[in-house]
């Protein structure tokens, strides 16, 4: 039943995201040291460790899961990314049932990114996490329109997020700390776009692993 995404699958995704951020922590920090203040890896790792500690008590629904994830990130991450990722997760939860199909999950993820945009006011091409998320959502919808299930849509989204991440390199940052560098921000991948690529890659891996 690869098109029925359950609360347990979503918990597995969040755990996998934590593990991936831990694994890539130094890389995320190195990206942020080039165009920011060298804390994106540690910010995300700290926040997601706090999230995983809270998940010791299993959530009963996607809404409960993502409320815990979002509130914990908002309260435990000091940087811009805490409130932004926190908003992402707070917005996706209420839209989801258990189980959710590919269309419902795609719509919930889109609500999450719309929350990031509402809060941070980033437009496409501003060199932020939005530049990985928006292409991922477009690829998700295209895949679903072509008949893909959640696993197939997540695979397409992960690939598009990674392309979006890489495409941030030549951009000049217009939002967040990196924008203080002006033209000197060009030539480096945006750290938040890199962590958002991990977000979609771990969703894809999680749905692929359960068969």
Rg (CA), the chain: 16
Toward ligand ADP, which CB reaches closer, 72 or 128? Answer: 128
Asked if 133 interacts with ligand ADP (CB under 6 A), we say: no
Phi, psi at 5, each rounded to 5°: -95, 120
- Would you say 29 or 113 has its CB closer to Mg ion? 29
Comparing every residue's Cβ against ligand ADP, the nearest one is: 192
Pick the closer one to ligand ADP by CB: 23 or 37: 37
Distance CA 193, CA 183 (A): 18
Q: Annotate each residue in 156-175 with x if it binds ligand ADP (CB under 6 A) or - if it does not, as one string.
A: -------------------x
Instruction: Name which of ligand ADP, Mg ion, none residue 160 binds, using a CB cut-off of 5 to 8 Å depending on partner kind.
Output: none
Whether 167 contacts 125, CB under 8 Å: no
From residue 195, give the alpha-carbon distance in Å to each of 8, 19, 25, 103. Answer: 22, 12, 9, 24
Nearest distance from C-beta of residue 90 to ligand ADP, angstroms: 15
Q: Work out whether 21 is an interface residue with ligand ADP (CB under 6 A).
A: no
The nearer residue to Mg ion, 62 or 86, going by C-beta atoms, is 86
Token pair, residue 94, equals 């209420």
Contact between 87 and 70 (Cβ < 8 Å)? yes
Using the rule CB under 5 A, is 37 a contact of Mg ion?
Answer: yes
Give the Cα-Cα-Cα angle 161, 25, 203 (nearest 5 degrees).
35
Collapse the DSSP code of 25 into the 3-class scheme (helix H, G, I; strand E, B; otherwise coil) and give the result: helix
Say whether the peptide bond before residue 99 is cis (omega within 30 degrees of 0). yes
**Residue 83 sits in the site that holds ligand ADP (CB under 6 A):** no
- The yes or no reply on residue 39 touching Mg ion (CB under 5 A) is yes
Interface residues with ligand ADP (CB under 6 A)?
32, 36-37, 39-40, 43, 79-81, 84, 116, 120-122, 128-130, 175-177, 190-193
């Amino acid at each position: 039943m690869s098109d029925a995404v359950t609360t347990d699958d979503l918990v597995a995704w969040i755990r996998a995201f934590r593990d991936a951020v831990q694994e890539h922590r130094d890389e995320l920090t190195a990206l942020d040291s080039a165009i920011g203040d060298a804390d994106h890896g540690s910010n995300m790792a700290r926040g997601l460790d706090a999230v995983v500690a809270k998940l010791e008590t299993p959530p009963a629904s996607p809404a409960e899961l993502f409320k815990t994830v979002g509130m914990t990130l908002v309260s435990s991450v000091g940087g811009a990314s805490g409130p932004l990722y926190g908003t992402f997760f707070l917005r996706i939860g209420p839209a989801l049932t258990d189980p959710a199909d590919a269309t419902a999950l795609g719509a919930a993820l889109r609500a999450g990114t719309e929350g990031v945009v509402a809060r941070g006011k980033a437009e496409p091409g501003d060199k932020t996490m939005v530049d990985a998320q928006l292409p991922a959502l477009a690829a998700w919808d295209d895949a679903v329109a072509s008949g893909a299930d959640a696993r197939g849509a997540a695979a397409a989204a992960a690939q598009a997020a990674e392309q979006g991440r890489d495409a941030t390199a030549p951009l000049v940052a217009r939002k967040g700390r990196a924008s203080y560098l002006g033209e000197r921000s060009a030539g480096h991948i945006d750290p938040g776009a890199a962590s958002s690529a991990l977000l979609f890659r771990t969703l894809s891996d999680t749905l692929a692993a359960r068969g």
